Amino acid sequence: MTLYAETSAVLRWLFGEEGGDALRIEFAAADKVVSSRLTLIETRRVIRRAEREGRMSATEAADVLTVFAQAVSTWAVLEITEAVACRAEEAFPSEPVRTLDAVHLASALFLRRSFPDLTIVTADERVRANAALLGFPMSSSRA
Over pLDDT 70: what percentage of the chain?
Answer: 97
pLDDT band for 139, please (50, 70, 90 cuts). Answer: confident
pLDDT at 118 over 80: yes
d(CA 26, CA 20): 10
Residue extents of the structural domains in the chain: 2-133
Average pLDDT of every residue of the chain: 96
Q: Is 2-133 a CATH 3.40.50.300 domain? A: no
- Give the C-alpha separation, 107 to 72, whole Å: 16
CB 50 within 8 A of CB 61: yes
Q: What is the mean pLDDT of residues 68-74?
A: 97
